[in-house]
């Protein structure tokens, strides 16, 4: 499993003038967060504090000096992963030719899905009652972010293709499936497809879905 992109986005450089002790604390925190991102990508929510401590090369006490609970640590990592999507997905062009943009956006999405790994699949697959309050809250944030992005992509493409009125609900659902980490997981795991190959398949499925929706009105 590739180390989670969440981990790569954590641990900013210490500001100028920071004391040595503060800098060391920031470095330790960044190391813990990177390790947690990697462990969550590999093991999902079955990951433990001991797993993170081993990956970071620190002891449990060090982790709990920075994070009150296991779930507080995991929520920090997961939220960083959500932000990473927003930071890396390209901004659509102002013209109506969105073909290249969609291909690039799908490639970024499926690469991130693959790198973030099991934790995001677990958050989708588990019921809120099976999660702690903190993890249930961040799972809701993940769902809201995914649903909002799927709706915005569908509406953008619908307008670009001169669709009348609002896009049908089933079309939004079809786009959401093609953006999903479950699509990444299924095609990569079952068929050995790379994230970029998954993105190319998703682009063709989305194109076909829009063609069907526009023909049927």
pLDDT digits (tens, 9 = 90+) for 120-179: 889 888 887 889 999 999 999 999 999 999 999 999 999 999 999 999 999 999 999 999
The 10s digit of each residue's pLDDT in 135-145 is 999 999 999 99
The burial class, CB within 10 Å (0-12 / 13-18 / 19+), for 103 is middle
State the CB neighbour count (10 A cutoff) for residue 123: 22
Structure tokens at 17: 């003038």
Spans of all domains in the chain: 5-71, 89-216
Tell me which residue of 123, 42, 126 sits closest to 82, measured CA to CA: 123
The 10s digit of each residue's pLDDT in 79-117 is 999 999 999 999 999 877 899 999 999 999 999 999 998
CATH topology of domain 5-71: Arc Repressor Mutant, subunit A (1.10.10)
User: Is residue 78 within 8 Å of 4, Cβ to Cβ?
Assistant: no
Predicted pLDDT of residue 146: 92
Helix (H) / strand (E) containing 39: helix 20-43
Predicted pLDDT of residue 16: 57
pLDDT averaged over every residue in the chain: 90
Predicted pLDDT of residue 4: 43
């Amino acid at each position: 499993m590739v180390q989670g992109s969440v981990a790569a986005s954590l641990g900013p450089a210490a500001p100028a003038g920071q004391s040595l002790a503060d800098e060391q604390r920031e470095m330790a925190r960044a190391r813990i967060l990177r390790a947690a991102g990697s462990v969550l990508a590999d093991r999902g929510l079955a990951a433990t504090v001991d797993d993170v401590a081993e990956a970071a090369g620190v002891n449990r006490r060090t982790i709990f000096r920075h994070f009150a609970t296991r779930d507080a640590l995991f929520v920090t990592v997961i939220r960083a992963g959500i932000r990473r999507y927003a930071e890396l997905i390209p901004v659509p062009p102002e013209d109506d030719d969105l073909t290249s943009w969609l291909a690039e956006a799908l490639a970024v999405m499926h690469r991130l899905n693959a790198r973030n790994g099991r934790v995001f699949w677990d958050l989708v697959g588990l019921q809120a009652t099976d999660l702690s309050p903190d993890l249930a809250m961040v799972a809701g944030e993940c769902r809201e972010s995914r649903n909002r992005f799927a709706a915005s992509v569908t509406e953008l493409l619908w307008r670009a293709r001169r669709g009348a009125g609002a896009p049908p609900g089933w079309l939004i659902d079809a786009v959401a499936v093609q953006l999903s980490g479950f699509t990444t997981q299924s095609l990569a795991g079952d068929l050995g497809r790379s994230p970029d190959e998954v993105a190319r398949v998703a682009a063709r499925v989305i194109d076909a879905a829009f063609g069907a929706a526009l023909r049927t009105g």
